[in-house]
Structure 1
C-alpha cells in the first residue's frame, strides 16, 4: 500500500512538471511597429528587432504585440 501511494505521488509530480514545461508567454505592445497590423510575420520581424523572440497581431485594433516567455 505504501509503495503504491509513493508511486502515485511520484507519477503525479512528474505529470505536473511535464505540463508546466511550456510556460507562460508575456505580451507587450511593440514600440516600433507603425500602422495597422495585418501580417503576423511582419510583426514578428519588428519584435525580433526589439529583442523579443516572437510577435503577433492581436485584438480588434490589430496591434502588434511582442511575446516572450515570462
Structure 2
C-alpha cells in the first residue's frame, strides 16, 4: 500500500509539473495574441485616418 501511495504521489508531482509548463506556455501564447490584436487594431486605425485624409505628420502629432 505504501509503495502504491508513493507511486501515485510521484505521478501527481509529474502531472503538476506538466500543468505548470502548460500554463506558462498558455500565458505566453495569450500575451502574443493580445500583442497581435493591438497591432492589428493600430494598423486599422492608421489606415482609417489616412483614408480620411489625415497626414502622417498629423497622426504623429496626435500620438504625442
TM-score category, normalised to shorter length: 0.3 to 0.5
Could you state the TM-score of these two structures normalised by the residue count of structure 1? 0.44
Larger radius of gyration: 2
Q: Which has the higher contact order (CA 8 A, sep 6+)?
A: 1
Name the structure with the higher strand share: 1
Name the structure with the higher helix share: 2
Could you state the TM-score of these two structures normalised by the residue count of structure 2? 0.47
